[in-house]
Amino acid sequence: MSLLKGKKGIVTGVVNEYSFAYHILKSLQEQGAEVGLAYLPGKAVERRIKKIAEREDISFTCPMDAQSDESIEEAFAAIKSDFGDIDFFVHSIAFAKSDDLEGTFVDTTREGFALALDVSAYSLIPMAREAAKIMPNGGSIITMSYLGSERVIPNYNVMGVAKAALEASVRYLAYDLGPSNIRVNAISAGPQKTLAASAVGDIDKMIDYTGKVAPMKRNIEGRDVGDSSVYLLSNLSSGVTGEVLHVDNGYSTMGAPPMSTFD
């Protein structure tokens, strides 16, 4: 049974085959969904996305600048005219200055804070607003978060604050869009060596530690996140909105690591 047969939607944030967004794309396609891609404007990114689109049999792509309301509105106008109404939207966008993803949070600059919050949290709001306009039959929106929104993760710094704002936004958007039968949720994924994660200081050590401490004694794979997105974007989760689903092999449930970790 194809859980998303006859459904269509847009995925943002695909950079390469290691991106969480790419694994979400693949899982959605496997369940029968028609997927379009929105990407950061720029010739280099466009060339990369076009190659991925050709390889994955994707007919629609469009640029969308997360920091420009005008660009977001133009992108959704193009989606409406060239792709049609949608049933789901995937927000997988985050950015912070590399200097703010190492060292201490107390040294975060005003500029760095504003940039991280704008791209990583605020961008969901105008995108959800525009997506809702082309979801006449209701739908589902998801975004990507991380445990750093709830707990201190060394070097994650300002991005943890941005993800906390993102998760709060999910709850308020779920309330606003619920009457239109549009659900809004987040996936809090465990760490994986993506291009975005590589900017976080000591990410390799973090990934190694997480795999040892998680109850399932392994790190997540892209497929774990992709398949969880199918749940949140399909009718299987028709009564779920305003939630943060942890896909981290249980790491977020741990109050203390096993003492053997320190041997």
What's the confidence (pLDDT) of residue 261? 67
Position 262 scores a pLDDT of 64
Q: Is the model's pLDDT at 40 over the cut of 80?
A: yes
Task: List b or e across 163-184, with b for residues whose CB sees 16 or more CB atoms inside 10 angstroms.
Answer: bbbbbebbbebbeebeeeebbb
Residues carrying an active site annotation: 146, 156
Q: Which domains does the chain have, with CATH numbers?
A: 8-245 (3.40.50.720)
Confidence label for 260 from pLDDT (cuts 50, 70 and 90): confident
Tokens 């060292």 belong to: 103
> Per-residue confidence at 150, pLDDT binned at 50, 70, 90?
very high
The pLDDT score that the predictor gives to residue 109 is 96
What are the pLDDT digits (tens) for 86-134? 999 999 999 999 999 988 999 999 999 999 999 999 999 999 999 999 9
For 188, counting Cβ atoms within 10 Å of its Cβ (0-12 exposed, 13-18 middle, 19+ buried), the class is buried
Neighbours of 109 (CB within 10 A): 12
154 vs 82: CA distance, rounded Å:
44
Band the pLDDT of 204: cuts 50, 70, 90.
confident
With both helix axes pointing from N to C terminus, report the angle between 124-133 and 69-78 in degrees, rounded to the nearest 10. 30
Indicate the pLDDT class of residue 83, thresholds 50, 70 and 90.
very high
- More confident of the two residues 143 and 198: 143
Please, what sign has the CA dihedral across residues 43, 47, 49, 53?
positive
Total residue length of the chain: 263
pLDDT tens for each residue of 3-38:
999 999 999 999 999 999 999 999 999 999 999 999
Flag whether pLDDT at 219 surpasses 80. yes
What's the predicted TM-score (pTM) here?
Answer: 0.94
SS3 category, 87? coil
What's the mean per-residue pLDDT of the chain?
Answer: 94
Contact 8, 87 (CB under 8 A): yes
Q: What is the pLDDT of residues 97-109, one digit of tens each?
A: 999 998 899 999 9
Q: Rounded CA gap, 133 and 147, in Å?
A: 31
Question: What is the full DSSP assignment across 1-60?
Answer: --TTTT-EEEEE---STTSHHHHHHHHHHHTT-EEEEEE-SSHHHHHHHHHHHHHTT---
Q: What per-residue confidence (pLDDT) applies to 192?
A: 77
CA–CA separation, 62 vs 72, rounded Å?
A: 10
